[in-house]
Chain A
Amino acid sequence: MRRRLKKDTIIGIALAIPSIVAIAIFVYGFIVWTIRVSMSNWNSFSSLLRGVYKFVGFKNYIRLFQDDRFITDLWNTAFFTLFFLLGSIAIGLLLAVLLDSKIKGAQIFQNIYLFPMAVSFVVTGTVWSWIFAPGILPDDPQGINLILKKIGLDHLMWNWYTSTKHWGPFNLALIPVIVAAVWQLSGYTMAMYLAGLRSIPVEIEEAAKVDGASSWQVFWKIKFPLLKPITLSAMIILGHISLKIFDLVFAMTGSGPNFVTDMPSIYMFELTFRSNRYARGSAVAIIMLLMVAVVIIPYLVNSMKKEVRL
């Protein structure tokens, strides 16, 4: 028996080694390498080519935090993430509850709502950029503005993602981008909640009803608390998408006038591949990694603890 176990362990380790090595090199190795680059003076193609490493400490990071554009990017990410999470979770939950109430054609609606997730962000971005293109106001509107004009809601027409209006650090031009992102991923959130709802035993609901709970109470007091792990997972999945968002924004609006829709990932791309400021671009990458880590690590720690307890 003991020998058998040993053999299994050896086979297990042997099977795991290739992927462990690959991950060690291509994920963690490159993270370490990026940290190293971010603390170098490699801010031009020729200095990179020469390959002479000069350690400059946190200079690239300090410069970033003195940079208006980067500060705007951080605020944009924060507001985008907040509203994107709230929107996707609220709409996802609502759709899931509606579909779970066994209305006619639930299967079809379920697929329709889930469908946007199958579309690439680049496609979504391009199409929504047409929808929200403002046209020349007030006489020659386009997209949504044209609809608003046709139904007599002229006063609601505005510049959408080309607007430079802001409430404090919140750029209103982000609203159309948030709408597009919510449209794309609320269906996915719905699918997660739907799975959660269907795993709640019917007996619990019936027992509550026997005790005289209204369906509203059943939802808030029983179902929603039971769905907490789903909410947490959804927040983690959506949160790491939104903190790293690039393709949707790049295709839909680009950086926008005065960087109203700029994101750290776009700045990273432009620093690295347009300006040849490799060290500065790496510093942005590391800051993005830290932002995602702040979200992911507590979740990982939490789920690992649970596994141990089991």
Chain B
Amino acid sequence: MRKFLVILLSALLLISVVSFAKENALEIFSWWTGGGEEEGLQALFKLYHHYYPDVKIINAAVAGGAGTNAKAVLKTRMLGHNPPDSFQVHAGMELIDTYVIPGMMEPITWILKDMGALDKFPKAILDMCSYKGEVYSIPVNVHRANVVFYNKKIAAKIGMDQPPQTWHQFVYYLNKAKEMGYVGLALGDKNKWTSLHLFESLMLAELGPEAYNGLWKGETSFNNTGIKRALEIMKEMLKYINSDHAAMTWQDAVRLVYEGKAFATVMGDWAEGYLKTLGWTPGVEFGWFALPGTQDSFMVVSDTFGLPKGAPHRENAIKWLKLLASVEAQDIFNPIKGSIPARLDADKSKYDVYLKWSMNDFATKHLTPSIIHGSAAPEAFATALMDAINKFVSTRNVDKTFKEILMIADDNGYNTK
């Protein structure tokens, strides 16, 4: 009996190994496992299956930590020459610095050319996915990071009928909310990244989009009064945050706005999706505006998919990338995920009032890469800056933090003259 079992088990093992190697499959790696995003991914799989019914899709998603765990797993697989067929990666340095420069990716400019889609994306976003003139990944969705979401009831109480245009106006309302017993600005920085999320938008506000984008090309120096001013404004804003910010996540901070305890929060527009799942309607219970000073910029957080060298099912992966670059797939995925398509010719009627506003701005404003969401700078720079800003939230020492930022920039080879 036991012998029989052993033989059976080894036979099964052999069969599975052989069949796996031969299978007509497509392995897609991502960290889309949460509400909204997983359904979006499944919808994409369904669409792929509709066009290529004989390809078996393997969903190699890794949960947790806003992609941190997934990124670690992916690096291990890439090091071991065992890449998935295609994987999720943020546009920008997370893709270029980590995988393209070491030569692990195939250029895919030809796919977009074949489809005639090269001019359907904004040039700035394809530039983020490019290295030395070749595109290396297909942007699927776009989130905006520099947005303030606010509770409309509280806004009415403090007399805000127009979104503030300047810092002074914004601080005036924050102060008014504080005087009336509300939290001015909800912050949840238990996981540290949210304070850098706030700070990078302040940097953008004080530097302006051109100088901000110049930081990453070495054209703007980090030794810049704009960065110092951003720290000073941050210090001012920290006067209006909730005292228990270090015990909260970004969702908890958004909940403070939802529960009517806080007036506003600065968060990427995934917060809009979260407020909707809590039961609010955009424009009715909550409003939004671009962070004052960044009205003519759009801080981009974009998920893209690329083609690793040595992908086991390269043909299927190319079909997948072609599908992602199509209007059809982008319009199926994004309304579910709560983001906007990277293509400019998408069907606006499928999106809610907030996303329509965001789509307009995406098409017309300056696009700028986010630091903390992996686009602007290598991961080592982003985490070091995150630590410096985390300290700043407690110490509020502008000069010391500014010196630290200069050191971090210098360590990573940026312009600090």
Q: A255-B390, A257-B189, A277-B380 are in contact. Are A137 and B72 (CB under 8 A)?
A: no
Total cross-chain contacts (CB, 8 A) = 90
Is A265 interfacial (CB 8 A cutoff)? Answer: no
Is B224 interfacial (CB 8 A cutoff)? Answer: no
The distance in angstroms between the C-alpha atoms of A155 and B380, with both chains bound, is 43
Q: A140-B261, A254-B192 are in contact. Are A273 and B72 (CB under 8 A)?
A: yes
Tell which of A158-166, A194-202, A235-243 binds the partner: A158-166
Instruction: State whether A159 touches B72 (Cβ < 8 A).
Output: no
Is B360 interfacial (CB 8 A cutoff)? Answer: no
Residue in B71, B244, B378 whose CB lies within 8 Å of A273: B71
Q: Which of A254-310 contact B (CB under 8 A)?
A: 254-259, 270, 273-277
What are the interface flags for B375-417 relative to A under an 8 Å C-beta threshold, 1 for contact and 0 otherwise?
Answer: 0001110011001001101110000000000000000000000
Q: A45-B102, A135-B244 are in contact. Are A276 and B380 (CB under 8 A)?
A: yes
Residue in B75, B191, B261, B387 whose CB lies within 8 Å of A69: B387
Residue in B104, B183, B243, B387 whose CB lies within 8 Å of A134: B243
Instruction: State whether B68 touches A46 (Cβ < 8 A).
Output: no
Q: Nearest-CB distance from B194 to chain A (Å)?
A: 12
Is B181 interfacial (CB 8 A cutoff)? Answer: yes
What are the interface flags for A14-43 relative to B under an 8 Å C-beta threshold, 1 for contact and 0 otherwise?
Answer: 000000000000000000000000000001
Is B106 interfacial (CB 8 A cutoff)? Answer: no
Q: Which of A157-185 contact B (CB under 8 A)?
A: 159-162, 164
- Chain A residue at minimal CB-CB distance from B181: A139
The distance in angstroms between the C-alpha atoms of A163 and B209, with both chains bound, is 36
Instruction: State whether B243 touches A136 (Cβ < 8 A).
Output: yes
Q: Give the residues in chain A near B101, CB-CB below 8 Å.
A: 46
Interface size on B, residues (CB 8 A): 35
Q: A259-B391, A275-B384 are in contact. Are A44 and B68 (CB under 8 A)?
A: no
Is A234 interfacial (CB 8 A cutoff)? Answer: no
Instruction: State whether B98 touches A273 (Cβ < 8 A).
Output: no
Q: Which of B90-126 contact A (CB under 8 A)?
A: 97-98, 101-102, 104
The distance in angstroms between the C-alpha atoms of A275 and B374, with both chains bound, is 11
- Looking at B97, B98, B384, B387, the one whose CB has the most chain A CB atoms below 10 A away is B387
Is A49 interfacial (CB 8 A cutoff)? Answer: yes
- Chain A residue at minimal CB-CB distance from B98: A45
- Chain A residue at minimal CB-CB distance from B395: A258
- Looking at A46, A133, A142, the one whose CB has the most chain B CB atoms below 10 A away is A46
The distance in angstroms between the C-alpha atoms of A275 and B75, with both chains bound, is 12
Q: Give the residues in chain A near B102, CB-CB below 8 Å.
A: 45-46, 49-50
Is B215 interfacial (CB 8 A cutoff)? Answer: no
The distance in angstroms between the C-alpha atoms of A274 and B247, with both chains bound, is 21
Is A129 interfacial (CB 8 A cutoff)? Answer: yes
- Chain B residue at minimal CB-CB distance from A173: B246
Is B255 interfacial (CB 8 A cutoff)? Answer: no
Is B79 interfacial (CB 8 A cutoff)? Answer: yes
The distance in angstroms between the C-alpha atoms of A259 and B247, with both chains bound, is 13
Residue in A50, A69, A133 whose CB lies within 8 Å of B247: A133
Q: Which of A44-71 contact B (CB under 8 A)?
A: 44-46, 48-50, 68-69
Instruction: State whether A255 touches B243 (Cβ < 8 A).
Output: no
What are the interface flags for B231-251 relative to A under an 8 Å C-beta threshold, 1 for contact and 0 otherwise?
Answer: 000000000001111111000
Is A253 interfacial (CB 8 A cutoff)? Answer: yes
The distance in angstroms between the C-alpha atoms of A136 and B75, with both chains bound, is 40
Instruction: State whether A162 touches B244 (Cβ < 8 A).
Output: yes
Q: A48-B79, A49-B79 are in contact. Are A136 and B244 (CB under 8 A)?
A: yes
Q: Nearest-CB distance from A227 to chain B (Å)?
A: 39
Residue in A48, A50, A254 whose CB lies within 8 Å of B190: A254
Q: Nearest-CB distance from B380 to chain A (Å)?
A: 5
Q: Give the residues in chain A near B71, CB-CB below 8 Å.
A: 273
The distance in angstroms between the C-alpha atoms of A259 and B102, with both chains bound, is 34
Q: Which of A218-258 contact B (CB under 8 A)?
A: 253-258
Q: A164-B394, A255-B192, A274-B383 are in contact. Are A44 and B378 (CB under 8 A)?
A: yes
**A-B pairs with beta carbons under 8 Å apart, 25 shown:** A44-B380, A45-B75, A45-B379, A49-B79, A68-B391, A69-B387, A134-B243, A134-B244, A135-B244, A136-B183, A136-B243, A137-B244, A139-B181, A162-B244, A162-B245, A253-B247, A254-B190, A254-B191, A255-B192, A256-B246, A257-B189, A257-B390, A273-B75, A274-B379, A276-B378
Nearest 6 CB-CB pairings of A with B: A258-B394, A162-B246, A257-B246, A273-B72, A275-B383, A49-B102
Known: A254-B191, A276-B378. 6 other contacts (CB 8 A): A49-B102, A136-B243, A257-B390, A258-B390, A275-B384, A276-B75
